[in-house]
Amino acid sequence: MRAPDLVLDVGGGDPVRLRCAAVLFDMDGTLVDSHACVEWKWRTWCAGHGLDADALLAVAHGRPQAETVRIVAPELDTERELDHLTRLEEGCTTGIVEVPGASALLDALPAGTWAVVTSAWRRLLRIRMGCAGLPLPAVTVTADDPVDGKPSPHGYLSAAARLGVRPADCVVVEDTPVGLAAGQAAGMRTIALATTFPADRLPAGLVVPDLTQVRLHRPGGGGPSPATGPDRKE
């Protein structure tokens, strides 16, 4: 298992310092701002079925699409609806950009120390990361993989195993209560981004506005070095 030799500075001013071996990210709302496309997809789909889009959006964020469909319309053929939803979302690229700070953080992280764990399909991950101008990691866990969706911890545990790190040495970055619950259930520390939900609805010890307040600590940059400095955890 790789040693926890990364140090993250979280927050502004006097940042909290987290020592870890890997950083595991959600995609939508965490690395990629795709809110416009996600909302358009669900509102279009709801209009076609006479469903309340606002009620659906209240439960959809962070969940696999199949689970959302089963929650709001259990009478529908889930597989057929997933095909329709996939066509809708793959056809929408308008307004997709990086969450502020995403490219700077990913560029700073060494190869093999980060992964993406998302309820999106792998093809959609590639489309949205590409539209946002973000790199793809060596390890991704998507809806194509045989793991239970969030809030199950399975996706995050799978990513840790594939990176060769202990769950306790991982930091999860998420924007939804469901995703944060998955990271916490995996025994990982969590950082919440208030990009989708208000801060008071995010069950994490560390909540920041976006990724501009999550930085890789650099020895000699004015703070203690990773080898000797304090490890202030949530």
Active site residue 26: yes
Which one of 5, 9, 14, 26 is the catalytic residue? 26
Q: In this structure, what token pair is assigned to residue 69?
A: 């469909």
Active site residue 148: no
Exposure class string for 102-127: b at 16+ Cβ within 10 A, else e:
bbebbeebeeebbbbbbbbbbebbeb
Q: Strand locations in 36-104, DSSP E?
A: 97-98
Q: Which bin fits 211, alpha (ψ -120 to 50), beta or left (φ > 0)?
A: alpha
Which one of 5, 14, 28, 144 is the catalytic residue? 28
| Spatial distance between the Cα atoms of 96 and 114, rounded to a whole number of angstroms | 22
219: enclosing H helix or E strand: none
| Spatial distance between the Cα atoms of 161 and 221, rounded to a whole number of angstroms | 32
**For the packed helices 35-49 and 78-90, what is the interaxial angle rounded to 10 degrees?**
140
Active site residues: 26, 28
